[in-house]
Structure 1
Amino acid sequence: MISLDAPYHALRVPPAMRHRGGGGRTLRDEPGRGRHGRLRIGHFVPLSGPAGIWGPASLHNADLAVREINARGGILGREIELLTFDAGGAPGEVAGLACDAVGFGEVDVIVGGHISAVRVALRDAIAGQVPYVYTPIYEGGERTPGVLAIGETPPQQSRPAIAWLAEQRRAQRWYLIGSDYVWPWLSHLAVKQYIAEAGGRLVGEDFVPLGAHDHDVYLRRIEEARPDVVLISIIGNDSVIFNRAFAERGLAARMLRLGGAMDETVLLGIGADNTENMFAASGYFASTRTAANDAFRERYFGAFGLHAPVPGATAQSNYEGLHFLKALADRAGTLDLWPLVAAADGLTYSAGRGPIGMGGRGADMPIYLAEADGHDFRPLKLF
C-alpha cells in the first residue's frame, strides 16, 4: 500500500493507466477531477492474482464500452476517460489506491469488476464519496449507500441450477468447495438451503486459501465422500488448477461439477479433456444466441480481432457496468451521487445480455444453465 506520507506524484503515478477508448497516458497529466469536462472513471479490475485470468478480456470489454459511449456523446455530454487500476492485490492495498484516487480528485466514478473481498474493502473506504458500480457475480445483499451491484446472486444463479440437477440428474449428495473469502462463505450459506429444498444433503465442505495450488487433501476428501455433485466456488486461475487436478484424479467421470464463477476463460484454462460433466449457471455465456449477444460479439471481435480473449461472464460484466452507468445517468439527469443512486430503482438498461431491469434487490436477468462442451459452454436451460 502506498504511504499517505509519500509525495503527491508518488501517490498518483503508479496506480493507474489512462485511456479514452484506445491509447493511454500516465496520471502525471491534467490532475483534478472533472477538468476539461471529462468524466474520469476509475476501473478497478484484477490484472494479477487468481482473478487476473480475467484481466485481458475485462480491459477489452471496458474499452469497447468507452468507445461506444463516447461515440454517442459520452455520459451527459462528458467524454469518458478510463483510469485502470489493478485490483488483484490484497484488498487493503487496493482500497488504498481507491482512497488516493478519490481523495486527490482523480476519479468521479468507480467501476469494479473484481472479487467481493476487494468490494468490501473499497466500499468501506470510499462509499458515499463517489458512485461505485460493482459488476460481477457476487453473494448478494449489498446495501451500502452509493454502491450499485448488477451481478448475479445465489437466488438467481444457484437455486434453479441446483433444483434442475436434482430433478434431471437425480443429484442428492452435494460437496461444496470454494476459495476462502466472502463470496464463497456467504454463497454457500444460501446454497445449503437450496440443496435442502431440492431434497438433497450436504456431504462435505471446504474453503481453499487464495493462491493455493496443492489440492490433494481436498480431492481425497471429495473422493471419500462420494458426492453426486461438487459445487465449486473456487476463483479464477485457482479454479483452473483445481479442476485439472480433479479430472486427472479420475473424478470427472464419477461425479458432476457445478461451477459458480465459471466462464469460457476458466474453461479454456482447464482444457477440453478435463471438463467432463461440468455445468455452470450464469446470466451470460459468450455462446448464447440472442440478437443482443450476436451484435455484441460482432462489435467485440470486430474491434479486437478474432483471436481476442473470449468475453466470458466476468469480463463482459465490465462492459455491462459502463452501459449501466450511462443509462443510469441519463435517467437521473445528473452524476451527483444520491440522485444517481435513487434513479437505479426501476431502471432498464441494455448491453450484451439484452434488456436488464433493476429493482430493490439488484439486477433482474435471465439465467442460463450450460454444460461444458470442449472449450465452450452449451446452454441447456433458461430460467
Structure 2
Amino acid sequence: MQVDATRRGAREAETLSIAFVVPLQGPTGLYGPSCLTCGQLAVEQLNAADGIAGRRVELVVVDAGRSPEAVAEEVGSLVDQGRVQAVAGWHISAVRVAITRRVGGRVVYAYAAMHEGRDDTPGVFMLGERPVNQLLPAVHWMREQLGVGRWAVVGNDYVFPRVTAATTRAALEDSAAEIVSETYVPLGTTDFRGVLDGLDPGRVDGVIMLLMGQDAVRFNRQFAGRGLSGSLVRLSPAVEENTLLGGGAGAHDGLYAAAAYFDGMGTAESTALSRDYHDRFGPWAPALNAVGESCYEAILFLARMGRVCGGVDVADVAAMTSGQFYDSPRGLLRLDGNLLNQDVYLAAARGLEFEVQQQIARTT
C-alpha cells in the first residue's frame, strides 16, 4: 500500500492538472465542443514536447454552464484537495467572479474570455479582449464607414454586458456616436418580441449585441424574421462561428463582430492553428472560433509562464513581468500587468462565415 501511495504521489508531482472551466450546457453550452477540442489540441502539443515546466499536462473539465456558485464550489473543492494546480478556460464573467472569490490568490487563473476590465487578484491573468481595444474601436469604425451613430444595447443581465455598456457610454461622450437605450434580459431568454418592439429605426441606427451563445442565436433569428436586417446593423464582441451556424445563413445580414481571432482570417499564425486543428480533428470538427482559440491561448499562456517563471505557482508569477511580447495564433501579444494587449479585427458575417473587414486595434 505504501509503495502504491508513493507511486501515486510521484505521478502527481510529475503532472500539472488544470481545472479547465468551459460551458457544456445552458445558453453558452454552444461553445463547449470548440473549447474542448482546442483545449485537447493544446495539451497534446505541449505533452509532445516538455509539457509545462517539465510536467505532463492534464485537463480536469469543469462544466461552466451551471450557476456561478456551483461552478466555483467544484473548482474550490478541486483546489482544496490538491487535485488541480491551475485554472483556465472560457466562461462568463459572473462565473469568473465566483471562482475568484472562492480560490483567488491560491492558484494561477488564466481567464480566456473577453472581459470588462482589470481584476487585480494575485495570480489572475485576463487574456481576452476588452472594450478599449474591441468594442470602442469597432463603434468608431462603424461610425466612419457606415454612418452608424445611434446605438441600442441589448445584452444579457450580468456584469460583463452592463459594465461594457457603461464603459462604452462614457467613452462615447462628446463624440459623434451615442448609446440611446439599454435593455438587459436573463441568460436563457427565448422570446425577444418585447425587445424587438423597442427597436425603432427612426431612433437608432444599430444594435450592440452583448448576448451570449444560444441567446444570440435566437435574437438573430427573430431580428431577421422581423425584417430589421435591412434597416439596422448589429455589432457584437461575442458572436462567433458557432453562433452563425446556429442562426442559419439568412439571419446575419448586416451583422458585424469584433474579435482578436476569426477562423480563416489569413494571418500566418492563425493559418498554422487552423491547419493543426483540422489535421487533428478532421473536416467535421467543431467550429474553430474565437472562443475555442481563447482556450488554446490560455493553456499555452500557462506554458509560457512555466518557461519564464520556472513554474505556475502563484508565488512564481512575480517573474512574469509586464511588457513581455510573444507570438500566438492571434499574432503578437504583449503582457500589460495581468492583461494582454492584442490585435483586434472587425469582420462582417457572410452567411455562415466571417469576412474580415479591417484591423481596428494593434498590439501596443
What TM-score, normalized to structure 1? 0.89
Q: CA deviation at 1:342?
A: 4.3
Distance 1:245 1:33 in 2: 56
Distance 1:341 1:268 in 2: 42
Distance 1:368 1:341 in 2: 31
* Equivalence for 1:18: none
2:68 corresponds to which of 87, 91, 100: 91
Contact 2:125–2:338 under 8 Å retained in 1: no
Distance 1:155 1:55 in 2: 27
Matches within 5 A, 1:51-130: 51-130=28-107
* Equivalence for 1:274: 251
> Amino acid of the residue matched to residue 218 of structure 2?
I
Query: Deviation string for 1:6-65 (max 9, x for gaps)?
Result: xxxxxxxxxxxxxxxxxxxxxxxx987972411111101000111110000100000000
Structure 2 segments unaligned to the other structure (5+ residues): 1-6
Moved over 6 A (4+): 30-34
> Amino acid of the residue matched to residue 102 of structure 2?
A
1:178 corresponds to which of 144, 147, 155: 155
Alignment coverage as a number of residue pairs: 354
Pairing 1:351–2:328 present: yes
2:204 corresponds to which of 216, 220, 227: 227
Alpha-carbon distance change, 124 to 158 in structure 1, aligned in 2, over 3 angstroms: same
Alpha-carbon distance change, 297 to 223 in structure 1, aligned in 2, over 3 angstroms: same
Q: CA deviation at 1:200?
A: 2.0
Q: CA deviation at 1:337?
A: 0.9
Q: CA deviation at 1:332?
A: 0.8
Larger RCO, structure (CA 8 Å, separation 6 or more): 2
> Amino acid of the residue matched to residue 84 of structure 1?
V
Contact 1:34–1:40 under 8 Å retained in 2: no
SS at match of 2:87: strand
Q: CA deviation at 1:169?
A: 0.9
Distance 2:294 2:202 in 1: 36
Contact 2:201–2:232 under 8 Å retained in 1: no
Q: CA deviation at 1:171?
A: 1.1
What TM-score, normalized to structure 2? 0.94
Query: Deviation string for 1:331-359 (max 9, x for gaps)?
Result: 11222213225415223333321221111
Q: CA deviation at 1:86?
A: 0.4
Further displaced range: 355-364 or 267-276: 355-364
Identity over the aligned pairs, expressed in percent?
37
SS at match of 1:319: helix
Q: CA deviation at 1:204?
A: 1.3
Matches within 5 A, 1:134-173: 134-173=111-150
Pairing 1:243–2:220 present: yes
Distance 1:287 1:224 in 2: 33
Q: CA deviation at 1:269?
A: 1.1
Contact 1:113–1:317 under 8 Å retained in 2: yes
* Equivalence for 1:339: 316
SS at match of 2:229: coil
Distance 2:11 2:80 in 1: 13
Query: Deviation string for 1:161-193 (max 9, x for gaps)?
Result: 111111111112110110000100100011112
2:342 corresponds to which of 365, 379, 382: 365
Structure 1 segments unaligned to the other structure (5+ residues): 1-29
Q: CA deviation at 1:361?
A: 5.9
Distance 2:16 2:198 in 1: 51
2:108 corresponds to which of 131, 143, 151: 131
Tell me how large the CA RMSD over aligned residues is.
1.6
SS at match of 1:356: strand
> Amino acid of the residue matched to residue 146 of structure 1?
G
> Amino acid of the residue matched to residue 310 of structure 1?
A
Q: CA deviation at 1:196?
A: 3.0
> Amino acid of the residue matched to residue 157 of structure 1?
Q
> Amino acid of the residue matched to residue 332 of structure 1?
C
Contact 1:32–1:106 under 8 Å retained in 2: no
Contact 2:122–2:314 under 8 Å retained in 1: no
Further displaced range: 326-335 or 181-190: 326-335
* Equivalence for 2:274: 297
Further displaced range: 132-141 or 340-349: 340-349
Contact 2:126–2:338 under 8 Å retained in 1: no
* Equivalence for 2:235: 258
